[in-house]
Structure 1
């Protein structure tokens, strides 16, 4: 299987944190988390319990430039997947020997949430989450791939759980794999007009990643390489974080639920989404269980699949008219 990336950007060169002793707290830096600013880093520190078990503390802010509240009560569910993404890279670097210039790929991601526990009123409360690393494959003294499985709790209450499989690629191997695309980094990517922010479940037009087509529940991927959160640094392909957000926005638009508060999100990535080729996003709304709606989303480019996703949310009960 050819991987497409979710955690695919490489951090700027910096020393990799030395492996801490068991039960010693280590601070998460923006370099380890592959972010440009501290406000975009959600895991704050971690403790090594054993060679494959770790305990993190995270902060999910009440306000954020991109991962902001979805309504006046709930935090953005996507912050869970982003925290998992960042924590996986932190551990790969600091605990499993992945060099600072490693390129990461995430082949699959599953997140389960309790939307009623993801409340703005609790945003000041830190989030504790346990991480188990499994399926660890080495490349020499470094890391080839591993799976991370996490459980997130706030004030002792289970908020979410998730798992993802991450692979590592050295800069030399990445250059061989992506040479033609790396040479096109300076070629501008046309910015398509977006759909209405409210339709996508966003407050700001600049955060919309879907562009309209002439077909219902079908969109073009809208790529803004200048977006400070989605494209924090130059990239030769569309970050998987953008694809995951496209799936969420497609589920919102297709279902008509606003906010769309998923109880489950799964995604599988099959290959890189290229910057300079149209990428079509398609959604199908399913009603498989009473009181729930599931939206299957797919990304297609050059005749092949880039990713597939499924997002399930509760459907509010219909209010009967008294007339």
Structure 2
């Protein structure tokens, strides 16, 4: 735990992991915006996590790689939980991969490719971690987690449970987790394949991302979910919002379903621009866009 925290004054149980009071969150997000957490907790392992879930009296907000996240400028009350060391192991099996929630999606894809296992290449195109990928049924390039997930281990205040993929009721960008549940590990199916073909597929995904998405900008991935029968970017483009600016936030010229922090954006700039996009698309096409980016915390007064 952080040496600066006096646990005799903390509302948290004694933990072996790292605990920080008033922790800055903005720099940990891909957008590089947002206020502090009252408490930022990185449990040491699953036992430490279970202790927190069982004994914490404050609300808990879970974040992963913070690649698809806006932390509002007023910060987050209560506990922000982030799984890090102790949750990043990746184990390759004959017909699949078991990965900790903190393992990056791209790293899991790389482990599978190194073992000539096919079916997980799409994970190389998702900028996040496995816990978030399961929790939101992440997908890209024609595949999604629901296609390959066998089970997920989920921690709750009642214990650690292995839940079958079918019981998570995975749907477009959604999973039905137990109340207060935190994904700890997951197993993904894969099949033996040709190593060169797998590497070529991953290279094609990387090239496509570079060509079509602002991957080197301060962004948060896809801003809105694709409505049934539509592409969000096309609706935004048709509404005239490609390149639109609000404060330090901008709709990407390269891919209109990406918001950018051009350098001095606030979380409010990004969220307000996103809401302006939603209003414009609704007025132009009659389609209501739903946020895919998570927004947590409080706006500044």
Between Structure 1 and Structure 2, the one with more helix by share is: 2
TM-score normalised by structure 1 residue count: 0.29
Between Structure 1 and Structure 2, the one with more strand by share is: 1
TM-score normalised by structure 2 residue count: 0.30
